[in-house]
Structure 1
Amino acid sequence: MALHALSVGEGILALSPAPGAGGDYKEDLRLIREWRPSIVITLTTRVEHVIMGIETLGSDIQGLGSRWFHLPIEDFQIPDDDTEDRWSQVSLLARQALSGGGRVLVHCRGGCGRSGMATLRLMIEAGEDPKAALVRLRQIRACAVETDEQMDWACSATPQTLHPPAAGSRSCPPTI
């Protein structure tokens, strides 16, 4: 498992495939433990956890000393209403961790679409220009954000900063 990391605020934000997606769940947990994220955001569904044999993911992550948030999103989709409602609180905690120099890990099954969407949204909510954020994100993970709907959801973010970007610079390009 590879962690694709970039600086956001004073902290480090990373996206990755799900622990165990490559076949070595225990080794992936060891890597996460060594990286020491304060928060792990899981975007895979319970069905995916069963398929991958990682039903204990939440308790295993918490056992590493990280806060764990499960925001299940179907593959190639965007959050449903329930997950969208929970996003604002999880996002706030993640941005607080990042502004304090912490580390946040976001993952889906493959580490591209859903995790790229959530990572891009966090970057925009942290005050980054959407286009610049997407360029930075795709420099470390070329497959980040896979559908137009995911791009639209990420770019619908409202910056949560005292210094919003200049007017007219808030749109994302289409997915490629």
Structure 2
Amino acid sequence: MIMHALPVGGGILALSPLPGVGGDYAGDLRQVAEWRPALVLSLVTEVELVAHGAHRLGADIQDSGTRWAHLPVEDFGVPDAAFAEAWPGWSEQARRALLGAGRVLVHCRGGCGRSGMVALRLMIEAGEAPDESLARLRGVRDCAIETDAQMQWAMAAERQPAVFMRHTV
């Protein structure tokens, strides 16, 4: 499984296909675990998870000590109301991870449209300029964002204030 990674906010943001979509679910899971993301955002539907033998993905990701969010979006689609309600909290967690030099993995089935849409949104919310973010993102994954509606959703992002980590001694 190929991960397309780029630096964002001091951490690393990566896009990838669904683990197992190429036929090696166990190997893909090992690769994800070895990459050690703080958070994995899964954008595939339940039907896609089952169809590609990844129905245990959430449990398997969490068993490796990584936080996992299932935010399903239909292929070539954009977020629905349930996604929109959950997004602010997950976006904040992703940005916290990135600001803390952590890693965030975003995947859909192929690692292009939906993943690109969410990655671009995160980049902008992390404070990057939209056009520069899009150019950087497409520099590592040229198929990132496949529809005008996906582009519109991603570009509607607002830059968020930096999320400061609380350090305890």
Task: State TM-score, norm by structure 2.
Answer: 0.95
Three-state SS of the structure 2 residue aligned to 1:60 is helix
Task: Give the Cα separation in 2 of the matches to 1:127 and 1:57.
Answer: 31
Letter of the structure 1 residue corresponding to residue 154 of structure 2:
A
CA distance in 2, matches of 1:84, 1:108: 17
Q: In the alignment, is residue 98 of structure 1 matched against residue 85 of structure 2?
A: no
**Equivalences for residues 79-118 of structure 1 within 5 A:** 79-118=79-118
Partner of 1:32: 32
What per-residue deviation string (whole Å, max 9, x for no partner) do you get for residues 150-171 of structure 1?
0000000000036xxxxxxxxx
Q: Which runs of 5+ in 1 are unaligned?
A: 163-176
Moved over 2 A (4+): none
| Percent of paired sites with the same residue | 60
Partner amino acid, structure 2, of 1:146: E
3-state SS, counterpart of residue 116 of structure 2: helix
* Aligned residue number for residue 142 of structure 1: 142
CA RMSD of aligned residues (A): 0.7
- Secondary structure of residue in 2 paired with 1:12: strand
Q: What residue is the counterpart of 1:22 in the other structure?
A: 22
State the Cα distance separating 1:53 from its structure 2 match. 1.2
What's 1:51 paired with?
51
Question: Aligned residue for 2:165?
Answer: none
Q: Who is 2:166 aligned against?
A: none
Cα distance between partner residues in 2 of 1:119 and 1:150: 11
Q: Deviations over 1:82-122 (max 9, x none)?
A: 11110111000000010011100000000000000000000
Tell me what 1:66 maps to. 66
Aligned-residue offset at 1:59: 0.1
Question: How many residues are aligned here?
Answer: 162
Q: Which residue in the other structure is 2:128 paired with?
A: 128
Give the letter aligned to residue 126 of structure 1.
A
Q: Secondary structure at the match of 1:115?
A: helix
Q: Describe the SS at the equivalent of 1:41.
A: strand
Distance 1:64 1:116 in 2: 25
